[in-house]
Amino acid sequence: MAENRHYYIEGNTVRVENVLPQQREEKKIRVRTQPEAVPARVRVNVPYVLMLLVVTLLFGYLCFSYLKVQASINASMNRIANMEEQLAEARSENAVRVNRLEVQMDLDKVFHIAVDEMGMVYPDENEVIEYTEQMREYVRQYENIPKS
């Protein structure tokens, strides 16, 4: 027979037979950590260490050489800049001196002094002899003039 249970509801609560759920037993898993194995002796690979040392020294030498070349280039650039400044100063000073000489020298005055005071005259046609020198880059002052 089925048993009929009738519950009377009072208020806003309902009666429940089993209030607490059944508790399950959970299996706890334990993880055992084993201590790390400490090597008894570390073996050194001598050829590898020597190769690493050689590569490191080579790299250091290359870096040092690069820095040395870079420093010499910078020094050369500074010297070139100083020389360019000196050249610009010399050119401007030269231009000032040329302008001063051009202002002081009056070609009309030179012509007037040469003609009037010193008695110079232009040469006649028969006094000018033109000739061409063969295969020479210069003319000697006291050399004989060739006949044309």
For residue 33, being part of any structural domain is answered with: no
For residue 27, being part of any structural domain is answered with: no
For residue 82, being part of any structural domain is answered with: yes
pLDDT number for residue 48? 92
pLDDT number for residue 109? 85
For residue 94, being part of any structural domain is answered with: yes
Give 107's pLDDT tier (boundaries 50, 70, 90).
confident
For residue 9, being part of any structural domain is answered with: no
For residue 129, being part of any structural domain is answered with: no
Instruction: Print burial letters for 74-106: b (CB count within 10 Å at least 16), e (below 16).
Output: eeeeeeeeeeeeeeeeeeeeeeeeeeeeeeeee
For residue 25, being part of any structural domain is answered with: no
Task: Give dist(CA 7, CA 14) in Å, integer.
Answer: 8
pLDDT tens digits along 28-49:
677 677 777 766 677 788 999 9
Taking the whole predicted model, whether its pTM rises above 0.85 is answered as no
pLDDT tens digits along 76-101:
999 999 999 999 999 999 999 998 88
Domain with 116, as residue range(s), is 46-122
Encoded amino acid at 93, one letter: E
Q: How many domains does the chain have?
A: 1
For residue 143, being part of any structural domain is answered with: no
Encoded amino acid at 16, one letter: V
Can you tell me the mean pLDDT for 4-26? Answer: 60
Task: Give dist(CA 79, CA 85) in Å, integer.
Answer: 10
Q: How many residues does the chain have?
A: 148
